[in-house]
Amino acid sequence: MSKDNYNNLAREILQAVGGINNISSVTHCMTRLRFTLKDSSIPKDDEVKKIEGVLGVVRAGGQYQIIIGQTVPKVYETLLKLGNGKIAGSAPIDENLDANAQKEKMTFKRGFNIVLNKVAGSLTPTIPILITAAMFKMLAAICGPTMLNITPTSSDLYKLFTLVGDAGFYFFPVFLGYTSAKQFKTSPMLGMLMGAILLDPNLVKIVTAGKPFTVYGIPMALTNYGNTLIPILLSVWIMSYVERFFKKYVPTSLSTVFVPTLTIAVMIPITLCVLGPLGGFLGDYICNGLLAFGKLGGVWSILAIAIIGAVWEILVISGMHLVIISTMTLLFAQGGHDNFATLGAVAASMACAGMALGAALRIKGKKNKTLVWGYFISNIIGGVTEPSLYGLALRYKRPFLGMMIGGFAGALYAGITHVTAYVMVPVANFLALTAYVGGSTANIVNGIISGVIALIVAAVATYIIGFGKEEEIN
């Protein structure tokens, strides 16, 4: 957006809220201008929403909140300049939390929403990293041997695209350590350090070696944390309390050295021995339960395949899918095919792309549409699902349901038609459907149909379900 556009947007907003004389004060958070107005009846919500550049309006906590998006700081600065010193500004706030939120009664629904908001608040700032990494991985996929074959895997250009794309996702715990620390109001630098500890090459070597290792004498689970989400979020959350404790009791003269040192010293066993492996422990129970469910045969097996299609991406996000991946690998190694887990995983990948497609057709705002179309393209062509999962599913919540419905429908069809996968395809784009090549023509056709069903059903479900009141522009 150009300087003139910011000026025009700020002028229209200023006029819509009743001018300078109706503003007691104004501040902003990550996406919203937050006005305290003398007469809140003056702004007409429908008229404000029609202003180009405005994504929505919320009245909460005694504030009149106009949702702008990530460019809100520039609009805020322009607004203050137009006020010629007559508009009382205040320090920006870090979160999109309403002022009266703490007064609300805690319920399961509110607690669940707080958790999701914290996760979304941690993930949203990382979207530029996800998009950039996804685009480079997409370029590698398009130019590589699986598609146009312009750049062989041995070429420097292919290696460059791959390493840039992989870096964005592999080191995600470090980025998330910073953003989640901002959310939980603890040291961002310590948050990044916790992420770096999880990815340290020495820890990777220990895990790869497979030999027992202890932390202060406590056995450590041998877990690889590259590309993970849950371990660092849990660690930074707990770390916020640990750091707060030491800040309270360590003398100020010693705090610079001892607060961060003691905080990390306490967090190392908590993270490596408890919080980090938690996803794996849960995954063992959930995934083994699904696999046992599938072994019952008949309608139960079909239902288990459909459930895997519905929950697969949730398992991936939390790192709980490794048990099923191990089973898939074993099945392909022993029998050369899989007619169970792969069906659900492929359908889920197509459903993720379908969710992005439905969201792109439904979401408001030119900038948001462009962003979400990018998610769809990086998913369906590049095979990168993270932007869709983190930028849509976790951020807006409701699209997750659309994706699950699509994954369930596509996997259900694959199970009913007894589709068999003959290739373990390590990509989540449209080429994942080549997993069904190797059997009969009917097998290939039904496999492709299952993927198309997953994509279309997810797109339609996401479009119909929408984003909820004001959520699509938050």
CA 288 – CA 323 distance, rounded (Å): 7
CA 253 – CA 260 distance, rounded (Å): 13
Cβ(404)–Cβ(411) below 8 Å: no
Alpha-carbon separation of residue 244 from 88, 111, 194, 360 (angstroms): 33, 22, 16, 42
Amino acid identity for residue 359 in this structure? A
Match 């029998």 to its residue by tokens: 335
Is 382 buried (19+), middle (13-18) or exposed (0-12) by CB count in 10 A?
buried
- Three-state secondary structure along 313-325? HHHHHHCCCHHHH
Residue 352 designated active-site: no
Q: Which DSSP letter does residue 470 get?
A: T
CA 318 – CA 316 distance, rounded (Å): 5
Torsion of CA 425, 428, 431, 434, to 10 degrees: 40
CA 225 – CA 177 distance, rounded (Å): 13
CA 375 – CA 78 distance, rounded (Å): 31
Cβ(454)–Cβ(347) below 8 Å: yes
Question: Which positions are annotated as active-site residues?
Answer: 29
